[in-house]
Amino acid sequence: MTIAILTPVFVQVALTFGLLFWMGSLRIRALRERKLHVRDIALGEPNWPQQATQIQRAYENQFELPVLFYVLVALALATGRVTAVLVVLSSAFVIARLAHAFIHTTSNAVPLRFSAYCVGLALLVAMWLWFLLLVVSR
């Protein structure tokens, strides 16, 4: 079960790093192509090209709900409470996060993106409730 629960974690981590490297490459390209200068962004001014900013926001989103996902998986592993239900919910959560990131970095259709976010949130709440039941029932 350890590998099964860690697989969604590895996918989520890969998504986070993928967005980071994508954002970095877009930023470096923007600087090389002189679309902006270092002084334009030195103090965190929001002057990056739109696509780089879009990827940045998707990257930043990986440090919101996924943090609670990582904590839950770590607690489930530490307490020996990894179950098939948690594995399935974890996989579905990461699929929802992938969908959210895909929408965020392509069309950025806010209603669709929000739907993907809500699905992920619901799955995460279900995971926490299931874990709570596992902990209090033993």
Per DSSP, the residues of 54-123 read HHHHHHHHTTSHHHHHHHHHHHHHHHT---HHHHHHHHHHHHHHHHHHHHHHTT--HHHHHHHHHHHHHH
Q: What is the pLDDT of residues 95-112, one digit of tens each?
A: 999 999 999 999 999 999
Indicate which CATH number applies to the domain containing 42: 1.20.120.550
Query: What does the pLDDT read at residue 43?
Result: 65
Longest dimension (CA), the chain: 61
Q: What is the pLDDT of residues 39-64, one digit of tens each?
A: 777 667 777 888 999 999 999 999 99
What burial class does residue 34 get, using C-beta atoms within 10 Å of its C-beta: 0-12 exposed, 13-18 middle, 19+ buried?
Answer: exposed
Q: Residue 124: is its pLDDT beyond 80? A: yes
Total domains in the fold of the chain: 1
Query: What does the pLDDT read at residue 48?
Result: 82
**Average pLDDT for residues 25-41, to the nearest whole number?**
84
Hey, is 28 helix, strand or coil? helix
Residues of the domain holding 100: 2-137
Q: What is the pTM of this model?
A: 0.92
